[in-house]
Amino acid sequence: MVPSTPRPSYFPTHGDDGYRVEHYDLSLDYRVGSNRLGGVARLSARALRPLTRVSLDLAPFRVDGVLVNGRAARFVHRGGKLHVTPRVQGRLGPGPFTVEVRYAGIPRPVNSHWGDLGWEQLSDGVIVASQPIGAPSWFPCNDRPDDKAAYRISVTTASPYTVVANGELTERRRAASATTWVYEQAEPMASYLASVQIGRYQQAEMGARMRLAFPQKLAGKVRNDFGRQNQMLAVFSERFGAYPFGSYTVVVVDDELEIPIEAQGMSIFGVNHVDGRRGEERLVAHELAHQWFGNSLTIADWRDIWLHEGFACYAEWLWSEASGEEPADHHAVRWHRRLSALPQDFVLADPGARRLFDDRVYKRGALALHALRRVLGDLAFFALLREWTTTNRHGTVTTEKFLDLALQYTTRSFDRIFTAWLYGSRLPPLP
């Protein structure tokens, strides 16, 4: 049964529902050797109601000063929250306002049930992997997935290093031994998808939209393993609608990673994901699909994460059949058999905070989509996906919103079947 009442947030200490950020302007200075980060963050926001203070999420940096609407403001920084109180008028809004935060220190990842999240020092460089609550490890933000904003990210670091961030590179200037890289992300982006990658990378273009950054020693293997992304892009654009961003960049770091990392307009892979034989191509498809499901369409609440991971997992199966490998039906039958053997205690549309990245979010989510495809047929199913991505392009989505749209594509008594996939704990049979 579809829940009819609001449910508690998975991360109640993150984010503030009293305002929305419209633009982040981040100016960062990073010293690789000492792992020291200095930053100035300028937020252009809009208060949704009168506010006596603004709360930002920020890890324990030293905060050197805060301005609200250009004037010095009082602030308290503790417990991962920066509480800012304007001195003038005593309250904000409703309406637009600005906050500027100057901060510095050694960035440390946010500790979580899934390990360290956010800004992390590599053996020679930096990786940012913030999903779901790691963004405050490197900049002050309203850390909730439904608050999407445009970004300008400027990073100054030692010249031997390449910086890759979200959006388009609009400026690169060298002064003495340091280089400043400026990126503009015009399409709205959730804070957890903001990313900076720093390393000694060689760069290459694989077509008009595809870019690669990688250690020079891996050049041949990287070009081979990611060489079919343009074909993937064509397949996914036909299935899901037009690619939602101007470009797509893959970064391969010179360290091993447990899993690849999703960011807006970008994916990050470890050296262990590159073998020169396309041995991890399903992951390449998975991360590319996130540009539609997760980046352009972003969940309003973390409980709906299957709308990201289930769709990206199903994209693996779609690429498998499109590239002449196993059809999606074979994947579905195999995974249904495996999930049927597990405890039947999992609710896809509300897995719980500790199960956000449970494998059943991915595989049961993909199975739910395959069940829907079997009921609707290919013509209606892919028309549904294209309408889903077009209608909600660069917006936020919920399970209930997807269910409402799906029900418009069938005249069958199908709502109970699909709601069982989403809200029931027992795995339904494949139609």
Residue 407: burial class (beta carbons within 10 Å; 0-12, 13-18, 19+) = middle
CATH of 201-291, one of 1.20.1250.20, 3.80.10.10, 3.40.190.10, 3.30.2010.30: 3.30.2010.30
Q: Which own/partner pairs from 68-72 qualify as long-range (CB within 8 Å, at least 24 positions apart)?
A: 68/92, 68/97, 68/98, 68/99, 69/97, 69/98, 70/98, 70/100
Measured CA to CA, the distance from residue 199 to residue 218 in angstroms comes to 14
Buried/exposed 285-299: b ≥16 CB within 10 Å, e otherwise: bbbbbbbbbbbbbbb
Domain boundaries along the sequence of the chain: 17-195, 201-291, 298-423
Indicate the SS3 state at residue 354: helix
The confidence score (pLDDT) of residue 41 equals: 98
| Residue 186, phi then psi, degrees to nearest 5 | -75, -40
pTM given for the model: 0.96
Measured CA to CA, the distance from residue 278 to residue 280 in angstroms comes to 5
CATH 1.20.200.10 fits domain 17-195: no
CATH 1.10.390.10 fits domain 298-423: yes
Measured CA to CA, the distance from residue 206 to residue 98 in angstroms comes to 40
Report the side by side order of strands in the sheet with 162-165.
Answer: 118-122, 125-129, 196-199, 162-165
The confidence score (pLDDT) of residue 418 equals: 85
- CA torsion sign for 348, 421, 283, 144 is negative
**Digitized pLDDT (tens) for each residue of the chain, 431 residues in all:** 555 555 678 999 999 999 999 999 999 999 999 999 999 999 999 999 999 999 999 999 999 999 999 999 999 999 999 999 998 767 898 999 999 999 999 999 999 988 899 999 999 999 999 999 999 999 999 999 999 999 999 999 999 999 999 999 999 999 989 999 999 999 999 999 999 999 999 999 998 899 999 999 999 999 999 999 999 999 999 999 999 999 999 999 999 999 999 999 999 999 999 999 999 999 999 999 999 999 999 999 999 999 999 999 999 999 999 999 999 999 999 999 999 999 999 999 999 999 999 999 999 999 999 999 999 999 999 999 999 999 999 999 999 999 999 999 986 667 778 889 999 999 999 98
The confidence score (pLDDT) of residue 91 equals: 82
357 Cβ neighbours under 8 A, 6+ residues apart: 114, 309
How many CA atoms does the CB half-sphere of 140 hold within 13 Å?
33
The confidence score (pLDDT) of residue 6 equals: 59
At 381, list the tokens: 């199913």
